[in-house]
Structure 1
């Protein structure tokens, strides 16, 4: 009985993984591109005040700056800025 249950669980997991790949696979690049675009927008919102963009919510977004520092270098290189656009941050 336990062996049948294990076999059923294994087959069910394989079917589930196959269906997930069937439906999500063709759109994987689209999902990744959209996630990257959302991350870029989030980075601009958080760093807007430091980049010189007036931000009425700067008081709240300043708390999020430590969360984006680790991705800052990859972000500014990806959007086409060769060196750090911030005077007080020298990541390059």
Structure 2
């Protein structure tokens, strides 16, 4: 069985810095990349698990949110003392 190698559009080779020279393919659970202009070659195992999302201030659960407490809001009339 022949493995189909595909060029990655816009990819820059980390070794020779040429653009659009990297091709990639997968075979037997391993991802391969190589440059057709120089001798750069890399192989990485394919991760089956989805990576966990990094914690940021947007997706972080605050302690107050974790407790699910509700607080009522009282609207004050500025004319009444």
Q: What TM bracket, shorter-length normalisation? A: under 0.3
Larger Rg: 1 or 2? 2
Per residue, is there more strand in 1 or in 2? Answer: 2
Per residue, is there more helix in 1 or in 2? Answer: 1
Q: TM-score, with normalisation over the residues of structure 1? A: 0.17
